[in-house]
Amino acid sequence: MCPLPLRAYDVRQESEMLQPLDFNRRLRLKPVAKVFTAEITNVIRLTEMEKLFHLRIVDDTDRERFTFLPGQFVMIEVPGYGEVPISISSSTSNKGFI
């Protein structure tokens, strides 16, 4: 069986490539049901490349409503710096901190 010849394709014609690059992807962020404001209460350096952050949701009501499972993926945004994906590793029974 002979494979079909591939046609040349210019990826620069994709709709996303026609806009200026937005490295923080602010233009493509999708709205979320709820945004929680948190503060960093502690930072522990685990290795040269990894740190453990203790976060505390600022609003008491939001803190009680925030639910998660260990290992769940969330996005953290630091205004002026961008965003980063993290995995939650705390116990679900500790409502005070993430």
Q: pLDDT tens-digit profile of 2-33?
A: 555 656 666 566 665 566 666 665 555 556 66
Residue 7 to residues 10, 17, 26, 65, 97, Cα–Cα distance (Å): 10, 20, 33, 53, 54
pLDDT tens per residue, range 52-93: 888 899 999 988 888 888 788 888 888 888 888 888 888 777
How far apart are alpha carbons 37 and 25 in whole angstroms?
A: 20
